[in-house]
Amino acid sequence: MIIQAEHLEQTYISGGRPLTVLRDINLAVESQGFVAVVGPSGSGKTTLLGLLAGLDRPTRGTVRIDGQDLGPLSEDERARIRAEKIGFVFQTFQLIPTLTALENVLVPVELHPDPTFGRRERADQRARELLARVGLAQRTHHYPAQLSGGEQQRVALARAFANEPRILFVDEPTGNLDTDTGRAVIDLLVTLNTEERTTLVLVTHDQELARRAHRVIHLSGGAIVSDTGSRSA
């Protein structure tokens, strides 16, 4: 299992009072799995992704990536694991405004702990290829402010693949896209899963995308209320 979560709880203090937004989440994802997380707004989907990716620490419980418990690790150690193994696409994209599309895509390559990984020609070529695959071959030198919301989202997707992560987390990948572009992004995600063997965990409201997943986890009120289609069950 490439991801294992046990008894995860996330409680925020809000207005001086504790607010539990995830409770007793138990989840294991097999390598090369394709999991869609669905559920109403506020059900804890984004929070869950952040915990599984090691971006945030849970109030309780454990997350293991590739067998390694993230709990005892320092912020730097977790950052290193993310740089090496994890791609993440945020709902808000989080592109760097002073860098072009191509430069944004190259950021994770430069952060990769293995210095031979980012050898310039190969990294540059892969970054251009990824931008082409998301339909942005003609936008490599555009800055985020010169791109539409959907284009920025696709740059964020290309950036998340750039370090060839074993696990890719994506929050609402088709949320800002028109039908045709959305379909192209879905096809790309499926290709990454089947051909590049990337484990995919994504949050979506898109029925078409959820249907392509191997497994659908439904969150409600911070708990898993159903988990269907698991091949490892």
Q: Which residues form the interface with Mg ion (CB under 5 A)?
A: 45-46
Q: Percentage helix, strand, coil, to 5, in the chain? A: 35, 25, 35
How far apart, in whole angstroms, are the C-alpha atoms of residue 21 and residue 49? 13
- CA dihedral angle for residue 51, residue 23, residue 217, residue 27, rounded to 10 degrees: 60
Q: Does 44 bind ligand ADP (CB under 6 A)?
A: yes
Q: Does 12 bind ligand ADP (CB under 6 A)?
A: yes
- Among Mg ion, ligand ADP, none, what binds residue 139 when CB lies within 5 to 8 Å by partner kind? none
* Cβ closest to ligand ADP, residue 47 vs residue 198: 47
* Cβ closest to ligand ADP, residue 70 vs residue 217: 217
202: amino acid identity, one letter: L
Q: What burial class does residue 93 get, using C-beta atoms within 10 Å of its C-beta: 0-12 exposed, 13-18 middle, 19+ buried?
A: buried
CB distance 43 to 216 below 8 Å: no
Place of tokens 């959820």: 210
Least distance from C-beta 21 to ligand ADP, angstroms?
Answer: 4
* Cβ closest to Mg ion, residue 32 vs residue 46: 46
**Interface with ligand ADP (CB under 6 A), residue from 42, 71, 113, 149:** 42
Least distance from C-beta 94 to Mg ion, angstroms?
Answer: 14
DSSP state, residue 166? S
Q: Does 41 bind ligand ADP (CB under 6 A)?
A: yes
Q: Does 96 bind ligand ADP (CB under 6 A)?
A: no
Q: Does 128 bind ligand ADP (CB under 6 A)?
A: no
Catalog residues that contact ligand ADP under the rule CB under 6 A: 12, 14, 19, 21, 39, 41-47
